[in-house]
Structure 1
């Protein structure tokens, strides 16, 4: 083990300062404010902090000024009790604890003749202001989303959940860089099996550092799966609703969204508007399920009709649009090419500066919509079909389902091209069986359909009466590994 990592403070101020400076590799933003205390005899002392993440005004007002006025020191504990007027303060001797504290914006007070230091929280983190979330936008309801500060996000949730049952458990993950990860739940409502499974999986994470919530998602999913088993949300109201349903939310410091488990397939079709407006109570979820089918099956069905079932349509329609295409590419390559162009356009708009998004969109529309058809690279009907598929998939991207739809679309397209409707039917059965085998922290992914639970259908295909939903407690079927 590194000698610095196993060291503790000594009674020499000079040695302690050198130890801390060496442990931070002589970084230039580690500042040292030396001063002298009149403790019957003159006693040298120093305040160490990292510039830029520490509030120096607080240091001067609540630490430096009181220490300069000390005339007698009985012990370090007495200094903390009588003179330091910062809430979060503790006495430390271990160098590891000091390094973590300084890295988190705390200040360290060292005094000559004492082998203990005072670690006081005076962090001053810069943060992005609260804004409307980009995903799951709603015409009514709250217009504030999470930001990158974990404490701010917990504050937003506590502002809505004003009950002592709201519990936050914080872990530190990372061997080199310690990152705070919080598990949040409402004790009265949470499913205890889900909570224990979540704790166990997060506690098992062993990484050098943690920058992305994807590491947490991988741990919760356990194995590589096609469908997302962890729901992501930028909205505090969506997260609070999930907590009252007995689910668990996980937030990572530096990540502006919450991870919610267990996640069921039907959750991706429930949006905030369902609960804020009356008009979306009955049919909107059927519509979203229909768009899911369109986004995954429409191109495959189109290829099947072109290759095997063009006789389903009137002869003049079939002749003009299906059987006598004069495009350069065969139907499969034509569809794949259009999918590539739409995905490229979508990916580009996310990566380029916002000022050029409109230009990229116009160029994409001209190239894809006009030039490719006039040049007979693709058929106009193929362009319409792929365009409708793309729009349908964009309608239900919230929560993390976008990548799954792209894979399923290509899978069903290939089955349809080689085996027609029979291939598509077999493919859909395979997908359903695969989904039924998935579990999100032990809860079946297709619940409450498979296994069927009538009592849980009140908020599935349509949004039930709000008062009944609020007063009823959700339960989840268990399928944990033995």
Structure 2
């Protein structure tokens, strides 16, 4: 079918067949009579607002002036009592619109369809995200509905310079994506690069939502786990990044928004830094940076120091193990690294009613019996527990796991080659960070490399609002 027919019965038969109405109970069509003209309305049950559609259909039956049915444009302006109305003549675009939740009205004599966007999607409440929590500030968060997510951003940035560009990706899924940016502040070359990559993407579906989008934008190297995107479920964080000239990519069916470009300093920042006075915000930020370094270096450094007890000063002698070591320390730490993730997966899949009791049992078994059995030494458990908890000081899971992988790599290098392995491991991790590039082509460690004190100062110290604006 190349075009919409002016014969209503031809259109009904064609779209009933293409939408498989006889096989899909939720794709509904009904015929109407408006001013002695036969019409057909196609929509998906569950997407159409029942109350709105009922009033629209009632208004159609009340039309008495045949001049309002002169053509599709006249009809849409004079007879459709709704704000979001469009005219389409491409059958493929009409089918996509129907399956996206819009209602398509075909009128006998019209070679176009009238699209009424009276859709609504099932959604949860805009509650505070579980991961991106704050001590003080907004308690709303993104949900799985694209339009509501963009509205939460619009609520915070009320300027016509805020642009929300729509793109559909996936030959089968036709997933809606919104590219948000502020005109005049955004890097136009980066914006063009992001837009072109998404428009030219040859995929059938975005099966993993925002992760699929990230893999379309950047071809990742498997050996470099450091994230190149900042993921957030907070509208206030997204608005702040947009005001700084970044790009936010909102994907339908996902509560996470991708921010580009993102360096490691962007990924480490969180909303708590800005909901407190500059002194407190700076303290929180510096604490997070110090903990990140300790997360990476604590256990490898401990392994290294235990290999050379003779060089330890007296005030550090407490880190030495006085108990009998039945399992090599390196193997203990590696087993614990894997065991911790096993416990995370078990907790994730445990019913809520059993989570507390099983967590207590797990803590008793690991913390007490594991030491008594001789498998683990108490200090190995202590340091592993610290780095595990410290991982959650980072706003993003991706950065936490990147640090975990680098810590395991450094542990193996240190255990195998002593001080040389420790040194070479640190150098390789540094090279991996420096070689990593953001979507804009900048170094992952910018503004540290290349060094830019003015920008670096803003990432380290929380300045007052008037200073940032200047």
Q: What is residue 60 of structure 1 aligned with on the other side?
A: 54
C-alpha separation in 2, matches of 1:67 and 1:144: 42
Distance in 1, matches of 2:275 and 2:305, equals: 41
Aligned to 1:301: 301
Conserved in 2, the CA contact under 8 Å of 1:231 and 1:399?
no
Question: Structure 2 vs 1, CA of residues 87 and 367 (structure 1 numbering), >3 Å: closer, same or farther?
Answer: same
Which whole-Å CA distance do the structure 2 matches of 1:168 and 1:286 have between them?
A: 35
Q: What is residue 80 of structure 1 aligned with on the other side?
A: 76
Deviation at 1:288, TM superposition (A): 1.6
- Counterpart in 2 of 1:280? 280
Distance 1:285 1:122, change over 3 A: closer
Deviation at 1:254, TM superposition (A): 1.1
* 1:335 corresponds to 2:330: no
Deviation at 1:59? 1.9
For residue 321 of structure 1, report the CA deviation from its aligned partner.
4.6
User: 1:49 touches 1:108 (CA, 8 Å); kept in 2?
Assistant: yes
In 2, the alpha carbon distance for the partners of 1:63 and 1:79 equals 14
- Equivalent position SS for 1:260: strand
Moved more, 169-178 or 17-26: 17-26
Relative to structure 1, is the Cα distance of residues 429 and 103 closer, same or farther in structure 2, using a 3 angstrom cutoff?
A: same
Paired residue secondary structure (2:403): helix
**Distance in 2, Cα, partners of 1:164 & 1:35:** 40
Residues 1:198 and 1:37: Cα distance change in structure 2 (over 3 Å): closer
Q: Is the 8 A contact 1:76 1:116 kept in 2?
A: yes
The one-character-per-residue Cα deviations of 1:131-162 (angstroms, maximum 9, x if unpaired) are: 01222321112111111111111111111111
Measured against aligned partners, the alpha-carbon deviations of 1:340-390 in whole angstroms (never above 9, x if no partner) come to 221211222223233222123112201210110111110011111111111
Question: Residue by residue, what CA displacement relative to the aligned partner does 1:178-232 show, whole Å, maximum 9, x if unpaired?
Answer: 1111111112322333323322332332211224111111133233242101000
Q: How does 1:10-409 map to 2 (within 5 A)?
A: 10-25=5-20, 26=22, 27-39=24-36, 43-67=37-61, 69-72=63-66, 73-211=69-207, 212-224=209-221, 225-278=224-277, 279-309=279-309, 311-312=311-312, 314=314, 321-322=320-321, 325-398=323-396, 400-409=398-407
What is the distance in 1 between the residues matched to 2:199 and 2:105? 33
Equivalence for 1:454: 453
> Does the 8 Å CA contact 1:150/1:251 hold for their aligned counterparts?
yes
Tell me which residue corresponds to 2:469: 470
C-alpha distance in 2, partners of 1:303/1:102? Answer: 62
The list of structure 1 runs, each at least 4 consecutive aligned residues, that deviate by more than 6 angstroms after superposition, is none
State how far apart, in whole Å, the 1-side matches of 2:242 and 2:423 are: 38
Determine if contact 1:300/1:424 at 8 Å carries over to the other structure: yes
**CA distance in 2: counterparts of 1:463 and 1:199, whole angstroms:** 33
Structure 2: gaps spanning 5 or more residues: none
Q: Secondary structure at the match of 2:398?
A: coil
For the residue of structure 1 that corresponds to 2:259, the secondary structure is: strand
- Structure 1 residue aligned with 2:427: 429
393-402 or 305-314: which moved more?
Answer: 305-314
TM-score, scaled to structure 1: 0.90
Structure 1: state its 5+ residue gaps: 1-5, 472-482
Query: Is the 1:238–1:272 contact (alpha carbons within 8 Å) kept by the matching residues of 2?
Result: yes
Residues 310 and 280 (structure 1), Cα distance of their counterparts in 2 relative to 1, 3 Å cut: farther
The answer (yes or no) to whether the contact 1:63–1:84 under 8 Å persists in 2 is no
C-alpha distance 275-76 of structure 1, shift in aligned 2 (>3 A): closer
Please report how far the alpha carbon of residue 54 of structure 1 lies from its aligned counterpart in structure 2 after TM superposition: 0.7
Flag the 1:174–1:427 CA change in 2: closer, same or farther, 3 A.
same
Equivalent-residue separation in structure 1 for 2:248 and 2:85 (angstroms): 29
Match of 1:417 in 2: 415
Tell me the secondary structure at the aligned position of residue 158 of structure 2: coil
- 1:36, 1:68 within 8 Å by CA — same for their partners in 2? no
Could you tell me how far apart the structure 2 residues matched to 1:294 and 1:428 are? Answer: 13
Shift of the 206–360 alpha-carbon distance from structure 1 to 2, 3 Å rule, reads farther
Given that residues 206 and 213 in structure 2 are in contact (C-alpha distance below 8 angstroms), is that contact kept between their aligned partners in structure 1?
no
- For the 8 Å contact 2:146–2:252, the answer to whether it is kept is yes
Take 1:90 and 1:269, find their aligned partners in 2: how far apart are those partners? 44
Aligned-partner Cα distance in 2 for 1:160–1:113: 46
Measured in 2, the distance between the counterparts of 1:32 and 1:226 equals: 50
Using the TM superposition, give the Cα deviation of residue 438 of structure 1 relative to its aligned residue in structure 2, in angstroms. 1.5
Counterparts of 2:46 and 2:96 in 1: how far apart (Å)? 16
Quote the offset at 1:397 in angstroms: 4.3
**Which has the higher mean CA deviation after the structures are superposed, 70-79 or 98-107?**
70-79
CA contact (8 A) 1:13 1:45 kept: yes
Deviates more, 1:27-36 or 1:224-233: 27-36
Distance 1:293 1:28, change over 3 A: same
- Contact 1:341–1:368 under 8 Å retained in 2: no
> In angstroms, what is the RMSD of aligned CA positions?
2.2
Distance 1:297 1:315, change over 3 A: closer
Alignment coverage as a number of residue pairs: 461
